[in-house]
Amino acid sequence: MHAIVCIKQVPDTTEVKINPETGTLIREGVPSIVNPWDTYAIEEAIRLKEKFGGKVTVISMGPPQAKEALKEAVSMGCDEAILLSDRAFAGSDTWATAYTLSRAIRKIGDFDIILCGKQAIDGDTGQVGPGIARQLRLNQLTNVIKIREIDFERRDVVVERLLEEGLEVVRSRLPALLTVVKGINEPRYPTFAGIRRAARMEIPVWTAEDLPGVDRSLLGLEGSPTRVVKVFSPPPRSGRCEIIQGESVEAMAEALAEKLLAAKVI
């Protein structure tokens, strides 16, 4: 069994502020973390390895400091890690990111399953996982909250997908790509042995030159069909609160009903 997990290092959104003049995120001095959704993908891959044997490869695209996110995944139990880092990748939108990651996965070779978090907390698009599946022509199972069955010899998987008003059970052939949601598991903490192993690990860095058959016109900002025009916080809501007084509950209820009728709420 070979599972590949795609992760992203993101700014801690509790610390992020927006430049009011440029409308862009102020990343300087903001701590970076592993995208929380991706930790569920890491945990699920490690559980598959513990049950069936095999290995877990974790990959990420980002600046050199994204190695820290990969080392955290290794300290949790992943076996191998690869960083995609190149100035040519800068400015990638979700399409270009999915393209780049898919070329790296093609280079890695044989795999049985790809796991991704549902979305990243900095962009919230949820497009990269499905984009990778499209590039690799794989079945995609999104919003997975449970892997019911998986058989690597029979080459199929049965999952529960979280819908807005219920669950959907889906069977798919392997290899497939799954995006997972909170609730599928409880991510483990890194072990001391894992932290020591991660600290000693030399993580390979792949550039555009290392990706066979890559079309450089599809990388980075040049290869991105979308542009972020502006990022901004919504204006604060202006509202008021009125406390209804009355001699009895019935009187207050009647007064409330009259106000709701006047406001055409009911």
Name the residue range of residue 153's domain: 2-218
Is the residue at 73 inside a domain?
Answer: yes
Burial of 230 (0-12, 13-18, 19+ CB in 10 A): exposed
Q: Is residue 52 part of a domain?
A: yes
Does residue 164 lie within any of the structural domains? yes
Give the CATH number of the domain where residue 170 resides: 3.40.50.620
Q: pTM value?
A: 0.84
Identify whether 264 is part of a domain.
no
Beta bridge partners of 60: 7, 83
**Residue 22: count of CB within 10 angstroms of its CB:** 10
Instruction: Please answer whether residues 158 and 170 qualify as being in contact, where contact means their C-beta atoms are separated by less than 8 angstroms.
Output: yes
Whether 224 maps to a domain, the answer reads no
Counting the structural domains of the chain, the total is: 1
pLDDT in tens, the chain (266 residues): 999 999 999 988 776 677 766 566 676 777 899 999 999 999 999 999 999 999 999 999 999 999 999 999 999 999 999 999 999 999 999 999 999 999 999 999 999 999 999 999 988 899 999 999 999 999 999 999 999 999 999 999 999 999 998 999 999 999 999 999 999 999 999 999 999 999 999 999 999 999 999 999 999 999 999 987 777 777 777 777 888 888 899 999 999 999 889 888 88
Residue 242 lies in a domain: no
DSSP 115: E
